[in-house]
Homo-oligomer: A and B are copies of this chain.
């Protein structure tokens, strides 16, 4: 069998929330002729930043997360606004969430959070030479603690499950395998 894309026949909108839109898409397989309804979730594209201070400390954000109903340790990041490029969004999110600015930003990699039902992309950047230049500028209902860790501490927390957000794990995959 040679896998080919399916033909889209219809797309009807379901719930539209602050952070995503749900659609039911009717598609037809070119191979089998089968037709099915498939749920998809549209979100804005996201950006995450592995941010290192001048002393090579990793800048982490600690926050309560409403999906997992738990406090997580993550790298800074957020949604990319329409007509904003990923690198610019990364610098903005880093500054808003942590008050840090960086000397240099470089692209590390990009993932699809879950191609089975999500349509968006998450970009990851490496920000180096970061220094604190301001206070946080948090959105309404955002509560974020900023914490600094050594790279060894981060690796240990990734391995022992303290850090378990798939997009953060992916970001450190790209950092570890960077040329």
Contacts from A to B (Cβ < 8 Å): 1-6, 8, 14-15, 17-20, 22, 24-25, 27, 29, 31-32, 34, 36, 38-41, 62-72, 74, 109-119, 122, 140-141, 143-145, 155, 158-159, 161, 164-167, 169-170, 172-174, 176-177
Contacts and interface: CB of A to CB of B under 8 A. Distances in A.
A15 to B, nearest CB: 5
A27 to B, nearest CB: 6
A140 B72 CA distance: 38
Overall SS of chain A's interface = mixed
Given A166-B122, A172-B173, A173-B169, A115 B1 contact: no
26 contacts: A5-B71, A6-B66, A14-B15, A15-B15, A18-B39, A29-B64, A40-B67, A41-B41, A66-B116, A67-B116, A67-B117, A67-B119, A69-B119, A72-B112, A74-B115, A109-B161, A110-B164, A111-B164, A111-B166, A114-B165, A114-B167, A115-B165, A158-B173, A158-B177, A159-B177, A166-B170
